[in-house]
Amino acid sequence: REGRVPAAGIRGEEVNDLTLLPCYSFDYFTDENRVLKKDPQQDYHLEYAMENSTHTILAFSRELHTCDTNDKSITESTVRVIWAYHHKDMGEAGQNYHGSNRGTKSLRLLNPEREEVSSASLPYFDLTNKDVPVPDKDTTYWCQMFKIPVQHEKHHVTKVKPLIQKGHENLVHHILLYQCSSNLNDSVLDYGHECYHPNMPDSFLTCETVIFAWAIGGEGFTYPPHVGLSIGTAADPLFVLMEVHYDNPSETEGLIDNSGLRLIYTPVLRKYDAGVIEAGLWVSLFHNIPPGMPEFVSEGHCTLECLEEALGAERPAGIQVFAVLLHAHLAGRAIRMRHFHNGEEQKLLAYDDEFDFNFQEFQYLNEERTILPGDNLVTECHYSTVDRIRMTWGGLSTRNEMCLSYLLYYPRINLTRCASIPDIMEQLQFIGVKEIYRPVRTWPFIIKSPKQYKNLSFMDAMNKFKWSRSEGLSYNQLVLKLPVNVRCSKTDNAEWSIQGMTALPPEIERPYKTEPVICSSSSCLSCGLFLTLL
């Protein structure tokens, strides 16, 4: 990858009077005892070094795949970068201990944020909570209605930035922005309320279409030059609902939050309007993961039937996906978005084989991908529950799980959700459940037979079952083949006719076979990574 001049990589700081230095750079690795050892295969190459009274800059490069067992391959997945330094140079006795001068940061080295020409002169508006009292409980979803201030004339949002209150970087887990019914009035703007609460305002129920998503660790998102989020026309969002997920596992009292989003927009219109499709597993208790599993795979299906109906009616030529956000919670280890056309698997749409719960952001695709009527999209999530003794359930808490993909695409069509739910009864048959009480009057519903589960909820029955790793593996194989209930939604709570129908998941190769790694030679300049280290 081509590098940038050093100062361009330093945010919010001026770097003046830099002096080129003679410098040395070596490729080391560490063992399980944290002892540094010089790598016999030197794969990191110093490009230059510069220094002034406040900064030292080292620029170095290496191949993405060195095939050195002491190196990690650099892919489009999350990379955890560990850094440390000492204010004195290394002496003859070796490196100096860094003390507290160390840290770590998750990055996507091959998927940096795409900066446009400066947006400093463009207008913007903020959607922020006002002194929200965060409850002293593990998980809170707070919803606040806003009115888009730009009306009567079409504009395009070109960038969205998170505005996270200082000190609340770990409290605010994610923010979703939904389009609501245009038939609402300003009375809905008076106050916020907990989402998914029995007493929440009815107006919240009209907000089903996700128009933007941000998750912890992510930075601002810039739309490509030919695409923008449309605002200001009758078809665009007028009232929007901002959902903020507060993660407060220590149940700290007295927290007040004012976080939100900044939307930067322009009257200079782009060629296409952007849309968002939520794909994957519908968040419900029907999604569950046994305890003690080093790996368990869940799949959410954006089915052939849903895409056939929606794209066939709205856009037979297909839509162009340009970015994807992959979303899971604490048990998540890896996520892939698989794409099938005419039954044949295409290159992965997006993936993260080193998923970090604390670093979730939109991945720009290197090349836009066309999704056509009749395609299949499978969100494949890998989990580890080795440290858990009870079932993990699909749900809103970060201790529950999700398996979702948010697809940014153009041109915008009337499809907001393309997801699936696995059949719960066949899951219960695996643990020996024979009959439930009907009609179902309680949730979770109650089991009637056999005797060992009688009058237990299905959640209690699943927790009572004696799970072993072999049982968990057999259960996983069963769940991946079960029929699914199709979720295929439009804006304004409308549904495509396929909604609620049962479909069979596609016959796909499991596990997914990754493409073989091709080792780079030292002469390969186009496939290397150029980094500037401050």
Q: b/e string for 495-528 if b means 16 or more Cβ within 10 A? A: ebebbeeebebeeeeeebeeeeeeebeeeeeeeb
- For residue 348, what are the contacts with CB-CB under 8 A and spacing of at least 6? 336, 337, 338, 339, 512
Q: Which of 327, 329, 339, 382 is catalytic?
A: 327
Which two tokens mark 191?
């106050």
Which two tokens mark 291?
């305890």
In angstroms, the CA 197 to CA 190 distance is 17
Smallest CA-to-CA distance from 245 within 168, 308, 299 is with: 168
Give the DSSP H or E segment for 256. strand 255-257
Which residues on neighbouring strands pair with residue 209, listed in sequence order?
179
Smallest CA-to-CA distance from 370 within 321, 432, 442 is with: 321
Give the DSSP H or E segment for 20. strand 19-20
Which two tokens mark 181?
């019914």
Q: Known catalytic residue: 223?
A: no
- For residue 381, what are the contacts with CB-CB under 8 A and spacing of at least 6? 280, 281, 297, 298, 299, 300, 328, 332, 334, 335, 401, 403
Regarding beta strands 272-273 and 132-134, do their DSSP bridges make them parallel or antiparallel, or are they unpaired?
A: unpaired
In whole angstroms, what separates CA 359 from the centre of its chain?
A: 8
In angstroms, the CA 196 to CA 330 distance is 21
Which two tokens mark 452?
């060992």
Which residues on neighbouring strands pair with residue 227, listed in sequence order?
272
Tell me the C-alpha to C-alpha distance, in Å, between residue 438 and each of 115, 164, 453, 460, 484: 57, 47, 16, 18, 22
| DSSP 8-state symbol, 21 | -
Contact 458, 171 (CB under 8 A): no
Residue 201: is the preceding peptide bond cis (ω within 30°)?
A: no
- For residue 37, what are the contacts with CB-CB under 8 A and spacing of at least 6? 28, 29, 30, 31
77 in helix, strand or coil? coil
Residues in the chain: 534
Q: Known catalytic residue: 245?
A: no
In whole angstroms, what separates CA 26 from the centre of its chain?
A: 35
| Residues assigned a catalytic role | 141, 327
